[in-house]
């Protein structure tokens, strides 16, 4: 199927703006506007990225286009791009759902065939973004070579990136860094030269769902309600009648449980009501997660074993009126509490990702391990303090009862060690008095177990050592009659606990602080040097790598390539080299641009700074012969999760770790670009290889309020669709 760059269609037609992977809102659009083929549809682009269901959204639209080619029109938006989709979610979604980039490649190849504009009844010009200073008549659009990646500048880029500005008359530099802003005179001139009446476009978020500018000569339609699941905006579709009349059909977001079932699932986890049914359902669901996972199942079984022994010990202590056994049972309760924390972390780590936690909850296991490690250290300190007190003032001890209880505790812990294959358990060891609460041992195996499981294992091994210590000290007391053996054994075991738990604290703390191991840093440095020597590569800029978990890494970098190089081939070779040479690297975002594009970007940013009076930025970070940073160039970018900023001093690369962000990308503070935002507190730029561009929510002026009913705009009517 091959279409012109300018497709002519007839009214009636329903025009849809940005959707951005909000699949269930697309279903709501069909419910409101009518289903195909009963209703003709014109979609103005930006079908993917940011939402959770980009694959489902573009798949449905593609099938509808193939089934009803004359009734469904798909215009290309700025997000129908390989570079942009690698940054704002579509690439990551394809990798997460299919495990390879093949699906992403198929769709992005298809994007090259989408038309650039549509004309309705020879009177309404429809485009995703806006106008271009190099385009005056439609024939100049028809001769564009669109079957390629969207370039960084030129007419094709302007059509998908430009925005109207009510404060301007002519063209002006866009704060997006791509495309232009244009004013009323530009619109009037274009409409006059092409004998048209109106321009329809999308590309900018409007809180009211739509915006009308320039005396009803240009309209913006936005069709993603509650954008990014947090903006709270309305959305609309525009119904164009046979006589050119236009109806903005405004609607709200689809019901949350339908639109975002992952969030609804989390609500089941986190916020169940007072009814017994929801509590039972929550427990059943959690139990199924526990039993489906080997680690959590082992923790759960050993928790039951510990709880059983705790109740037996408590009952025996009450029956014999033994304060020591009762105290020991209380200590076991805190053991079980630490075990429950590990179990909860193991379950929570299986919860699905959501817009707020795009990497899921895996890191909760690291937090649990850190908590268990610190808890063990505090317990060890209390043991040492109590042991010193007992050395100064030795208490009377019932060694027979102490020996019996300690022997039973040792059996419980040995069962745990062997049942959990040396490394996945929590045990208990206590004598008949209250100071033998021993924990600790860093098993240090390279089995790849999570830090949470290592922390849990420390408890069972420490308690096993405690049981052995109690038995040995009890026998020595019986043989020699000196009770000082007990506190000495306690102090010795406490020291072992601290020494063995320190590696776990350091490891989990390093993951939480996004610290890279020295060996990994050396690997990254060496691999980046190899990347800079690849054929067609000019330089490697802004490399960022950070640990996602204890043994896995995530990274991103920006590559400048020679103008004549095949950018897709360069990206493929760079990705393969990084994945094969850096241990534990499971995901990397490689962005490629040509030298000429980099120069154009720097020039545009410099002009923008001169225009806005912004200060200069940093010097830029790079591997290779040229730097892409400086003069206000964005100097911070990341692809999902945390970011790192890097600097080069000769051959030395310094990693400065920054806290993880829930957004997909960040802009360095050196850009000096002021942005006006509506609805979103963290505007994201276009990828770092493109000039800075505020998101859809950043508009040149506040959205125009709906026209009052007493003085309607000519030819414009609006109707509000209420939810049933």
Q: What is the C-alpha to C-alpha distance for residues 366 and 296, in angstroms, rounded to an integer?
A: 15
Contact indicator for 545, 555 with CB cutoff of 8 Å: yes
> If DSSP states are collapsed to H, E and C, what string results for 496-526?
HHHHHHHHHHHHHHHHHCCCCCHHHHHHHHH
Q: What is the C-alpha to C-alpha distance for residues 339 and 18, in angstroms, rounded to an integer?
A: 48
Decide: residue 87, CB within 10 A, 0-12 exposed, 13-18 middle, 19+ buried. Answer: buried
Q: Left (φ > 0), alpha (ψ -120 to 50) or beta: where does 203 sit?
A: left
CA atoms within 13 A on the CB side of 188: 10
Structure-token match 């309209």, residue found: 219
Contact indicator for 451, 508 with CB cutoff of 8 Å: yes
Structure-token match 């072992």, residue found: 496
Q: How many CB atoms lie within 10 A of CB 213?
A: 20
Structure-token match 């490649």, residue found: 105
Q: What is the C-alpha to C-alpha distance for residues 537 and 570, in angstroms, rounded to an integer?
A: 7
Strands 198-201 and 218-221: parallel
Contact indicator for 74, 115 with CB cutoff of 8 Å: yes
Question: Going by C-beta distance under 8 Å and a sequence separation of 6 or more, which residues neighbour residue 702?
Answer: 678
473: which 2 tokens?
């000290």
Q: What is the C-alpha to C-alpha distance for residues 234 and 208, in angstroms, rounded to an integer?
A: 5
Q: What is the C-alpha to C-alpha distance for residues 660 and 136, in angstroms, rounded to an integer?
A: 46
Kindly calculate the radius of gyration of the chain based on its CA atoms and give it in whole angstroms: 32
- 477: three-class secondary structure by DSSP: helix
585: which 2 tokens?
């690297």
- 176: three-class secondary structure by DSSP: coil
Distances (CA, A) of 672 to 2, 608, 618, 699, 721: 43, 9, 11, 17, 42
Phi–psi pair at 225, nearest 5 degrees = -70, 150
Which of 545, 637, 539 lies closest to 593 in space, CA to CA? 539
Calculate helix-pair angle for 276-292, 323-348, nearest 10 degrees: 80
Q: How many CB atoms lie within 10 A of CB 650?
A: 5
Phi–psi pair at 173, nearest 5 degrees = -65, 135
- Where in the sequence numbering do the catalytic residues fall? 79
Contact indicator for 405, 328 with CB cutoff of 8 Å: yes
Report whether the peptide linkage leading into residue 486 is cis, meaning its omega lies within 30 degrees of zero.
Answer: no
DSSP state of 113: T
């Amino acid at each position: 199927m091959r279409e012109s760059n300018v497709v002519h269609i007839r009214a009636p037609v329903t025009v849809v703006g940005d959707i951005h992977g909000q699949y269930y809102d697309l279903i709501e659009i069909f419910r409101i506007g009518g289903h195909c083929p009963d209703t003709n549809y014109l979609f103005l682009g930006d079908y993917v990225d940011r939402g959770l269901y980009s694959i489902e959204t573009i798949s449905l639209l593609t099938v509808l286009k193939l089934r009803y080619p004359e009734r469904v029109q798909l215009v290309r938006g700025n997000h129908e791009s390989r570079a942009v989709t690698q940054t704002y979610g579509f690439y990551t979604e394809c990798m997460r759902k299919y495990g390879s980039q093949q699906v992403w490649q198929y769709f992005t190849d298809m994007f090259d065939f989408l038309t650039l504009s549509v004309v309705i009844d020879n009177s309404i010009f429809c485009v995703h973004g806006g106008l271009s200073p190099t385009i005056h008549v439609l024939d100049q659009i028809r001769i564009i070579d669109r079957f390629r990646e969207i370039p960084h500048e030129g007419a094709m880029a302007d059509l998908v990136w430009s925005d109207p500005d009510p404060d301007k008359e002519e063209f002006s530099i866009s704060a997006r860094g791509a495309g232009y802003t244009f004013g009323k005179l530009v619109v009037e001139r274009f409409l006059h030269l092409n004998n048209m009446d109106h321009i329809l476009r999308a590309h900018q978020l409007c809180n009211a769902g739509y915006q009308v500018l320039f005396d009803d000569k240009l309209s913006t339609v936005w069709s993603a309600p509650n954008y990014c699941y947090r903006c709270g905006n309305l959305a609309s579709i525009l119904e164009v009648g046979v006589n050119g009349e236009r109806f903005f059909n405004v609607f709200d977001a689809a019901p949350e449980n339908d639109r975002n079932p992952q969030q609804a699932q989390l609500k089941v986890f986190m916020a169940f009501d007072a009814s017994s049914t929801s509590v039972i359902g929550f427990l059943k669901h959690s139990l199924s997660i526990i039993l489906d996972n080997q680690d959590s199942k082992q923790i759960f079984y050993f928790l039951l074993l510990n709880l059983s022994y705790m109740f037996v010990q408590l009952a025996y202590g009450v029956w014999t009126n033994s304060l020591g056994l009762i105290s020991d049972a209380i200590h076991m309760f805190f053991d079980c509490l630490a075990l429950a924390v590990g179990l909860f972390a193991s379950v929570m780590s299986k919860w699905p990702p959501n817009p707020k936690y795009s990497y899921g909850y895996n890191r909760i296991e690291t937090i649990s391990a850190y908590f268990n490690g610190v808890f063990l250290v505090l317990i060890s300190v209390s043991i040492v303090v109590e042991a010193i007190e007992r050395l100064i003032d030795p208490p009377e001890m019932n060694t027979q009862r102490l020996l019996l209880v300690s022997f039973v505790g040792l059996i419980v812990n040995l069962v745990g060690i062997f049942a959990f294959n040396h490394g996945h358990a929590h045990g208990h060891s206590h004598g008949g008095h209250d100071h033998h609460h021993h924990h600790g041992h860093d098993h240090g195996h390279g089995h790849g177990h999570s830090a949470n499981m290592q922390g849990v294992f420390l408890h069972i091994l420490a308690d096993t050592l405690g049981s052995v210590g109690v038995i040995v000290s009890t026998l020595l007391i019986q043989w020699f009659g000196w009770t000082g053996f007990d506190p000495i054994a306690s102090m010795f075991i406490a020291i072992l606990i601290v020494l063995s738990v320190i590696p776990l604290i350091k490891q989990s703390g390093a993951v939480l602080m996004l610290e890279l191991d020295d060996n990994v840093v050396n690997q990254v440095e060496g691999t980046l040097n190899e990347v800079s020597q690849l054929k067609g590569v000019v330089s490697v800029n802004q490399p960022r790598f950070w640990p996602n978990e204890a043994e896995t890494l995530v990274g991103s970098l920006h590559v400048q390539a020679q103008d004549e190089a095949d950018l897709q081939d360069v990206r493929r070779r760079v990705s393969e080299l990084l994945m094969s040479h850096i241990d534990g690297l499971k995901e990397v975002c490689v962005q490629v641009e040509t030298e000429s594009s980099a120069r154009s970007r720097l020039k545009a940013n410099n002009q923008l700074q001169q225009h806005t009076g912004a200060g200069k930025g940093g010097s830029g970070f790079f591997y290779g012969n040229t730097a892409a940073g400086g003069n206000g160039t964005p100097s911070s970018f990341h692809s999902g999760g945390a970011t790192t900023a890097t600097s080069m001093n000769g051959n030395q690369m310094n990693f400065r770790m920054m806290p993880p962000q829930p957004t997909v990308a960040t802009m360095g503070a050196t850009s000096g670009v002021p942005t006006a935002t509506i609805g979103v507190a963290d505007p994201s730029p276009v990828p770092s290889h493109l000039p800075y561009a505020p998101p859809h929510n950043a508009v040149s002026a506040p959205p125009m309020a709906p026209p009052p009913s007493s003085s309607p705009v000519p030819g414009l009517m609006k109707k509000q669709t209420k939810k049933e």
